[in-house]
Structure 1
Amino acid sequence: MKPVLSLLSPIMFAALSVSLAAASPASAQDSSVGKRVEKLEDEMRAVQRKVFPGGSSRYFEPDIAPEPAAPAAPSTTSSAVSDLIARVDTLESSLATITGQVEQNNHRIKQLEDKLAAATIAPVSTNPGGVTGGSGAGNGTGTSTPSPAPDPERVNGVSSIIMPVSGDQGEDAYIYGYRLWEAKYYPEAQAQLKKAAEDHPKHRRASFAKNLLGRAYLDDGKPALAAIALYENYQENPSGERAPDSLYYLSTALIALNKKTEACQTLAELQDVYPDASAGRLSANIARNKKTANCK
């Protein structure tokens, strides 16, 4: 609404001019102030037409109107100043009304924008492996599209994998996720490994769970998700037992994403931060990825 404010800002100067006119007995000043107020009234009419197009003439008369009867000349300077003050009061009242209306409109627009934004962000839900059925999103005809029926063979296969009960809940949660991954039930393994890490963040197996989560994403053909999970495991728990492995598999995910420069940087950091693991159990894997990424 900047154009509106730029037209209304001279009103404050008009009020100051009226105060000066009241303090001076010269009639020339009255005439000058009167012309300035008339100019402001014309500008206010333009604002009224812009903010309230087609609105009523509640605050100002139309620009084109029948010729009014010639007003009697003011008898004294004080009466002219009083008339100017009254006209400026009208301008200020109109300004307050228009400003209030603009603020209300802006508030309503903000509420509509918030509702629209909330309506366009659909909640994300996952159903790893399609183990359970349910209704899908509406198809626009008032009916819902059902999800595909679960594969009975897959359901039976997942059900056959039992979570161990050793008394160590963090260990059991990770081992169950590992068994799902080993059986190639990758979506189910992803859900379980993520849950294991979230439920037992201080357990030593949390580092194993997040690292294996990244590998499960890689094996499931989702290198972008793998890169996120592996980087988070290294960043959040760099002293974890599988932090070096997460850097190695992160380089693998970056290669799959055709980001070979970043993969080489990751391998260099792995060798710099974890020299023992790099020279030991991960040495062959690092050499292979360096060759694949054309690292110098």
Structure 2
Amino acid sequence: MKLPVLALCLFATAAAAPLAAAQTPMDPLDARDARRIDKMEQVVRELRAIVFQGRDIGKPVVVQPAETDYQLQEVTRRLADLEQSMTRMTGDLESANRQAELAKRDAEQLRAENKSLADRLASLESRALAETVAPPDGLAGGPSSGLPAGDLFTQSRQALASGDYAAAENGFREYVDAHGETSKAPEARYWLGKALSARGAHADAAGSYIAAIRGWPSTSWAPDAVVELSRSLIALKKPADACQTLAELAKRYPKASTTVQTRAAQARSQAKCAA
């Protein structure tokens, strides 16, 4: 009876041996080898397909890497190109934003400077007119000559050219009193300022020049009137106001004649204007 029991034990041991072997985990190296074999089989299948395709169409066939690896490489390359493009675009956008911000600041500064210049010129005009003994629109002159406007203007110009400043002053005062609203009146005030400057009446002359160039007219005599105004202000010991006036000359009349620009440079030097 003992022999069958021993046989049964040996049989159970033999049956359990394959089961234990089946439950033993696979070596990692064996797993990698299995993957390599799978990949090689895939390559072989692709090569067979390529060979059969070449045989069927009778044309050369370009052999490429395994499809999955090739696609991954292509996607990686495209992503790198895209990242470079986005980096460049981001840099260009930041540069454009900086330039736009700088342009905005420059425009705001220019508007502020223009307003400041306008305010200073208005203040200068107000002070000069306030100090004028005889305002241009109410100039006190001698008795009326009764001459027509054109003749009165011509005679006054002739008196000024001949050096008869008193007669020129009276004539232009009369013209302004009688014809102060005509288109010729600003020029009459300019010539009146010339006569007053020649006689040393610098405050009255400054008022006449300011009235003449009010509105910055585009006339041949206007740039010279601005220079004469600055000279009157220098004579009145107001160099800062003279420098502001000369700065407006360069801005309002950039194409003034060489003679006017030379006299303006002399006035800037005399007033010690900043460069």
**Normalised TM-score (structure 2):** 0.43
- Which one has the largest radius of gyration? 2
TM-score (norm 1): 0.40
Higher relative contact order at CA 8 Å, sep ≥6: structure 1 or structure 2? 2
